Structure 1
Amino acid sequence: MTKNQVLNLSTSHPLTTLDTDKMSQFGRLNNTIEGLFSATGDGQTELALAKKVTLNQARTTYTFTLWKDSYWSNGDLITAKDFVYSWQRALAPQTKAPDADLFVGIHNARKILDGRLPATQLGVSAPSKFKLVVRLDHPMAELPQRLTYPLFGPQNERIARKFGKRYGTQPQYQVYAGPFMVATTGNTKTHWHMVPNPHYWDRDHVYLSRINVNVYRSPKKSWHAYQSGKLDEVRLWSQSNMKSYEKQAAYTARPYSKMVLLAYRQNGPKVIINQLLQQKAARLAISHAVDREKLAQASYGNTSLPAQGIVPAGLSRGQRGTADFAAAQPNQKTLTYQPQLAKKEWQSALKAMGTKHVTLSVSYLNAINSEKLAKKLQQQLETTLPGLTITLKHRSWVIDEQTGPLEADLTILTQRAQYADPLAMLALYTSSSTANLGHWSNPTYDELIAEASNAPSFNSHRWQTLLKADGVLMTQQGVTPLLQPASTYLINPKLNGVQYNTVGTQSNFKEAYFVK
């Protein structure tokens, strides 16, 4: 290793909160958080703050035994009550974390989210200092995968109550259970940094002495910083840069389990547009009018993948580790470029409305790739679908807030899988899901998702049930998947030991180090 173990990273957004219940994305901060399980690089799980776990015969009660020598960054002991407090706080009406739906399936979570019970009735308890009991409404085969997500980490109740409204607003008002902590001094609006947590249980395997995170407002500035040696990682945005550097040792294309998709607003201010988009034929026409390969090339680049369904490639495999769920998804023809069929479907939908012309608005995120994608999508839809005019409107990205409600007829969204299971994507489009912004609803789909959610193990029946659900969603085009983006980077070749996850949180720097 080198003597200087300082990692320099970039971000486009300043640090806004250190309160895990207020984060919609954890970014670099996932390195300050640890829970009962942690994710491995291949999407599997391993115990972290939990020493062991046992299940009852019905697989509806998990009993976790915590390590007795795990400490917060301030030296406080991490106990089972820290998990109880954290989970109840995430569901409480006054906080209600952006990803609170992830708790559904734990006893009473749904009723708490619906306002029918207080958060104290959540099925989690601490019968002793290092014993945590989690009761479920039904078996949840994917629970360990869910629990790797940072939202399920502990929170120090003593510290939260001590600081009250100031809790998590500044580094000095937060403590950490992960390998790193945010330094309390030296941070500005354009810079913050992490240092090793001195009380972390596995401190001997944390090699970096500091992680600098610098805010760059433009890709051009971050590119110059990398070129001058001030950054160890830079994202490539332009197609020419990707081609120029793809054969260098520093180049990497990093896939991630997320999907860029179109959501349909079916309850907007114009009745005729609502009635149009409520027609399956109209939604299928839009899907069939999209040339996804050209769309990917024009926006995110050749490393991105055309959608095969709502579940991204590489998210989950079959029991024997051979079948990728994404490749096995049924009804993939609903996502193929078929311009002649699209025209017929579109004309049929317009005829049913008694009109020959319609104008639809398309909303996209005000970012480089999103704008390119929106303009290409506009061109493809207007060229293929007769009588259609598309108006584009960009929206700003508000940090740590959920998207919604939809403000355009069609909205380009990016949906991430928070854990390594097809259910992570498919459960988002049930009638009761807060992520289902278009409010598409199908009782058969809801029943299939409920059946898969209740499965006691990752058996073949559960797998087939999830495939059937995906088939219903694609046949109806409740949402229209477009592509699975991959990010391309140049990374300092001397940096080793980074765990790049494809799901949940992206980069784990716990065992990262530089070599000479």
Structure 2
Amino acid sequence: MGLKRSLIVTLATAALLAACGTGSETASSGTDGEAAAVVNYVAPTEIATMDSVLVTDMNSANYIGQVQDGLYWENDKNEIQPALAEALPEVSEDGLTYTIKMREDAKWSNGDPITANDFVYALQRLANPDTAAPYSYLLAGFKNSEAVLSGEAPVEDLGVKALDDYTIEIQLDTPIPYIENLLAFTPLYPQNQAFVEEAGDAYGTSSENIVFSGPFTMSNWDGTGLTWTLEKNADYYNADSVAIDEVNVQVIKEGSTAVNLFEAGDIDNAPLTGELAKQYQGNENAVQQAKARNYWMAFNYNNEVFQNKNLREAIDYAINNEELATNVIGDGSNAVATFVPENFIFNPDTQEDFVTEVGITDKYDPEEAARLWDLAKEELGVETLDLNLLGDDDEKGKTTTQYIQGQVQNNLEGVTVNLQNVPKKNRLAQEDARDYDMVITGWAADFADGINFFELLETGGSYNRGDYTNTAYDAEIEAARGENANDPVARWANFVEAQNILVEDAAWVPLYQEVETQLRNPNLTGITFRSVGNEFDLRTATLEAAE
């Protein structure tokens, strides 16, 4: 995201806040005459959509996760917990049939009961080619999914049905080792068919065009604005366990602005990068959160110059990932050279981390970069190149693109890099339209399986927005998803070989793995933080009274 982990696509991180003392003391009364627990919250970027079927970026998924519920929910260790489902699925001996019993006391915010039909409808809408849902590929392995996703069979043929109002049956063509994690993932959340169809194209584009199933509802969001409000959902089946009454959210993209407001007590959190992160190192309110999120620079292979491997590799050799992560971003993020992050997947036999096992290091070498550029110039028949680099318009996005601009121009004489920093929603749209030369993007893990990263670069994949293609690479991913689905050792070998192919091909330019550093008021405790999937969850948070 992810939601490709987008993250983002770069994919951006949500900043988490704790409530100011004044906020809780001056708020209107909550239940039983007590002061309402009000949190002032900073988001790093605008919401792109609140439609769980169409979501692509992590920031949007984070907020969908506050107002909608799935069949399952993941705790801070990414362990599966029942949510709209009563218990974990019953699984057939061959691993191809899952039966799920839903709780019968859950309802939508408009009073409709939440039923098995809502889940079936959401998956059929996700699978429908007319929806053009980027995450539809996750249904591969569901019975008849290939024919349904290609439009050759009706969505009703997808291997999911309601046995009764509160019982779901899922049938698979091949086992999916991570299916329970998928059932906790945002694009597979149930949807209210009547409401979605009545809203039509407007569904999920404003708070008035959403019906809610989760611990909070949303108001005051017009689809493009920089502020919105979350309010405790009194009709939520587990409302008694939700301690936060209201969350006032505002988008702040400049770190110094957020820090000043935090210090003044006007907001309860501020993200830290670069010099601000160094300045506040050791501050009692500074906290770090590791992410299974990697950022990289992607090439648009529709630009014929990027068909040249020497050019791609020259650009990779020109960029110092360690300096970028440590000195430029400076928020605790780490330089990477692999497609997947550290502390994400582990050898099923030895439990060794994937990144450690493959032993790939950053290619930075200015002399080698210049040599490769000379070869590329000869092969392309050019002496100069003028390239555009697309990125987000928040502070981290701007500093990252500026650094890469300098590295490439300084180390590859004759290459000019023009910067395009735009709001994240616009960046995602430009990526989708292939309207870029190079882009700073990334992925936050949706679930803890290597396939979640590696299938991003499959030929024709929904998130392969640079149209990279390599048949040998495709074969490894198809084997991991198909014939080796129940063989962890063989799947591991598929992932290792896929990683080696990407490196040999100079398919992308790895940059850094994100570690989020922020100032946070200690009065807000119990937030569920995850390194994989939606990054935070306020349903478990508790606000302590300010002293």
**Same-fold call, TM cutoff 0.5:** yes
Q: CA deviation at 1:448?
A: 0.8
Q: Flag the 1:465–1:16 CA change in 2: closer, same or farther, 3 A.
A: closer
* Counterpart for residue 295 of structure 2: 260
167-176 or 151-160, which deviates more: 167-176
Identity %: 25
Does the 8 Å contact 2:220/2:227 carry over to 1? no
Q: CA deviation at 1:149?
A: 1.5
> 2:39 is matched by which residue type in structure 1?
L
* Counterpart for residue 382 of structure 1: 409
Q: CA deviation at 1:251?
A: 0.6
* Counterpart for residue 214 of structure 1: 250
86-95 or 317-326, which deviates more: 317-326
Query: Matches of 1:321 and 1:32 in 2, distance apart?
Result: 40
2:508 is aligned, of 471, 476, 479, to 479
Query: Matches of 1:390 and 1:16 in 2, distance apart?
Result: 27
389-398 or 41-50, which deviates more: 389-398
Does the 8 Å contact 1:179/1:203 carry over to 2? yes
1:35 is aligned, of 70, 80, 103, to 70
Q: CA deviation at 1:46?
A: 2.6
Establish whether residue 179 from structure 1 lines up as the match of residue 215 from structure 2: yes
Q: CA deviation at 1:153?
A: 0.7
**Secondary structure of residue in 2 paired with 1:105:** coil
Q: CA deviation at 1:492?
A: 0.7
* Counterpart for residue 186 of structure 2: 150
Query: Matches of 1:451 and 1:515 in 2, distance apart?
Result: 51
Query: Matches of 2:195 and 2:268 in 1, distance apart?
Result: 34
Does the 8 Å contact 1:74/1:199 carry over to 2? no
Q: Flag the 1:324–1:205 CA change in 2: closer, same or farther, 3 A.
A: farther
Query: Matches of 1:321 and 1:178 in 2, distance apart?
Result: 40
> 1:224 is matched by which residue type in structure 2?
N
Establish whether residue 448 from structure 1 lines up as the match of residue 483 from structure 2: no
* Counterpart for residue 53 of structure 2: 21
Establish whether residue 460 from structure 1 lines up as the match of residue 492 from structure 2: no
Q: CA deviation at 1:304?
A: 1.0
* Counterpart for residue 460 of structure 2: 432
92-101 or 77-86, which deviates more: 92-101
Q: Flag the 1:411–1:141 CA change in 2: closer, same or farther, 3 A.
A: same
Query: Matches of 2:229 and 2:134 in 1, distance apart?
Result: 25
Q: CA deviation at 1:12?
A: 5.0
1:53-77 CA distance string (max 9 Å, x none): 1222332222212223333233432
1:394-432 CA distance string (max 9 Å, x none): 344326955323333322222332222221111000112
Q: CA deviation at 1:217?
A: 6.2
Structure 2 residues without counterparts, runs of 5 or longer? 1-20, 25-34
Does the 8 Å contact 2:392/2:427 carry over to 1? no
1:200 is aligned, of 217, 221, 236, to 236
* Counterpart for residue 446 of structure 2: 418
1:363 is aligned, of 370, 374, 390, to 390
> 2:260 is matched by which residue type in structure 1?
H
Query: Matches of 1:190 and 1:284 in 2, distance apart?
Result: 39
Query: Matches of 1:429 and 1:225 in 2, distance apart?
Result: 41
* Counterpart for residue 271 of structure 1: none
> 1:249 is matched by which residue type in structure 2?
E
* Counterpart for residue 270 of structure 2: 234
Q: CA deviation at 1:355?
A: 4.2
**Secondary structure of residue in 2 paired with 1:31:** helix
* Counterpart for residue 380 of structure 2: 353
* Counterpart for residue 80 of structure 2: 45
1:340 is aligned, of 355, 363, 367, to 367
Q: Flag the 1:346–1:111 CA change in 2: closer, same or farther, 3 A.
A: farther
Query: Matches of 1:226 and 1:88 in 2, distance apart?
Result: 45
* Counterpart for residue 141 of structure 1: 177
Does the 8 Å contact 1:83/1:154 carry over to 2? yes
1:152-194 CA distance string (max 9 Å, x none): 1111123334544554444344322222222489999554222
Query: Matches of 1:187 and 1:437 in 2, distance apart?
Result: 24
Q: Flag the 1:258–1:15 CA change in 2: closer, same or farther, 3 A.
A: closer
Q: Flag the 1:343–1:204 CA change in 2: closer, same or farther, 3 A.
A: same
2:151 is aligned, of 98, 105, 115, to 115
**Secondary structure of residue in 1 paired with 2:313:** helix
Q: Flag the 1:32–1:317 CA change in 2: closer, same or farther, 3 A.
A: farther
Q: CA deviation at 1:392?
A: 3.0
* Counterpart for residue 343 of structure 2: 314
* Counterpart for residue 31 of structure 2: none
Query: Matches of 1:113 and 1:409 in 2, distance apart?
Result: 29
1:63 is aligned, of 99, 104, 109, to 99
2:140 is aligned, of 95, 100, 104, to 104
**Secondary structure of residue in 1 paired with 2:184:** coil
**Secondary structure of residue in 2 paired with 1:406:** coil
> 1:209 is matched by which residue type in structure 2?
D
Query: Matches of 1:426 and 1:68 in 2, distance apart?
Result: 38
Establish whether residue 328 from structure 1 lines up as the match of residue 357 from structure 2: yes
Query: Matches of 1:367 and 1:474 in 2, distance apart?
Result: 29
Q: CA deviation at 1:508?
A: 0.6
Q: CA deviation at 1:510?
A: 1.0
Does the 8 Å contact 1:7/1:232 carry over to 2? yes
> 2:290 is matched by which residue type in structure 1?
P
Query: Matches of 2:479 and 2:223 in 1, distance apart?
Result: 49
Q: CA deviation at 1:30?
A: 1.2
Query: Matches of 2:121 and 2:379 in 1, distance apart?
Result: 54
Q: CA deviation at 1:52?
A: 3.0
2:260 is aligned, of 211, 219, 224, to 224
Q: CA deviation at 1:514?
A: 1.7
115-124 or 498-507, which deviates more: 115-124
Q: CA deviation at 1:9?
A: 0.4
Establish whether residue 502 from structure 1 lines up as the match of residue 531 from structure 2: yes
Query: Matches of 1:322 and 1:446 in 2, distance apart?
Result: 26
Query: Matches of 1:357 and 1:171 in 2, distance apart?
Result: 49
CA-based RMSD: 2.9
15-24 or 131-140, which deviates more: 15-24
1:489 is aligned, of 518, 524, 527, to 518
Query: Matches of 1:140 and 1:499 in 2, distance apart?
Result: 26
Q: Flag the 1:357–1:159 CA change in 2: closer, same or farther, 3 A.
A: closer
Query: Matches of 1:295 and 1:255 in 2, distance apart?
Result: 17
Query: Matches of 2:312 and 2:262 in 1, distance apart?
Result: 43
Q: Flag the 1:483–1:17 CA change in 2: closer, same or farther, 3 A.
A: closer
1:74-115 CA distance string (max 9 Å, x none): 343221111001111223344333433333332343443433
Q: Flag the 1:177–1:474 CA change in 2: closer, same or farther, 3 A.
A: same
**Secondary structure of residue in 1 paired with 2:169:** strand
> 2:392 is matched by which residue type in structure 1?
L
